[in-house]
Amino acid sequence: RHKCSSFLHDVNDAERPPFACDTCGKSFARNDSLLDHLKTHTGEKLYSCETCGKTFLRSGQLSRHSRIHSGEKRYSCSTCGERFNYSSVLKRHMRMHTSEKPYSCQLCGKSFSQNGNLHFHMKTHTGEKQYSCQLCGKSFIRSHSLVMTHTGEKPYTCGRCGKTFRFNGGLSSHMKTHLNQEQQQL
């Protein structure tokens, strides 16, 4: 009988990760995971970017951040070959090729490829235009639209042919012409 309860005690100990946080009780299988976790309670950030000084709780966060400075683009689009720093940016880019628009307006049904575009679209229903031009009085939903109205700035450039656009939507539409040309050549 003693052997049985001793065995169960050993099994229970084996199932419970050996490293536990004294503050909240959360358990970890590895000591380094516990040490990282402890920093969430102390606010301590030991990993610092040598380029800009920004600090991080975990080494993986610093590694991800470092791609901004190094220009490393390890995620490649299988359709057009464009490369990206992060998988999330590649995923958003792929929606341009697939025409996937997972974000829909509950009021009118219009769909968008990016959540931010849906957010700005919602302002068309509320009439909210918080950016007003001091010269002509025209109002805009986005600050950069206000700036570009009088400057003629075209900050969106096609990576394929160099054509420039005032708005990202114009570039997105233009990129579809390259895609259509490629499909016709196949």
Is the predicted pLDDT of residue 90 greater than 70, yes or no? yes
Apex CA 81: angle with CA 78 and CA 84, to 5°? 95
- Tell me the C-alpha distance between 121 and 144, whole Å: 15
Within this chain, domains 21-79 and 103-151 share the same CATH topology? yes
Cα–Cα nearest to 48, from 37, 39, 40, 57: 57
d(CA 2, CA 5): 5
Q: Are 9 and 23 in contact (CB under 8 A)?
A: no
CATH 3.20.20.30 is right for the domain spanning 21-79: no
pTM of the prediction?
Answer: 0.43
Region 79-91: what's the mean pLDDT?
A: 89
Which percentage of the chain shows pLDDT scores above 70?
90
Per-residue pLDDT of 92-141, as tens digits, reads: 899 988 989 999 999 999 999 888 889 888 888 888 888 888 888 888 87
Task: Indicate if the pLDDT at residue 148 is higher than 60.
Answer: yes
The upper half-sphere exposure of residue 1, i.e. CA atoms within 13 Å in the direction of its Cβ, equals: 0
CB 131, CB 140: distance < 8 Å: yes
Closest CA to 113 of 170, 169, 157, 175: 169
Distance from C-alpha of 67 to C-alpha of 37, rounded to nearest angstrom = 24
Nearest to 87 by CA among 74, 71, 68: 74
Cβ–Cβ under 8 Å, residues 85 and 73: yes
Give the number of other Cβ atoms within 10 Å of residue 137's Cβ.
7
Q: Which CATH class is domain 103-151?
A: alpha beta
How is the chain split into domains, by residue range?
A: 21-79, 103-151
Confidence of residue 11 (pLDDT cuts 50, 70, 90): very low
First-residue to last-residue Cα distance in the chain: 76
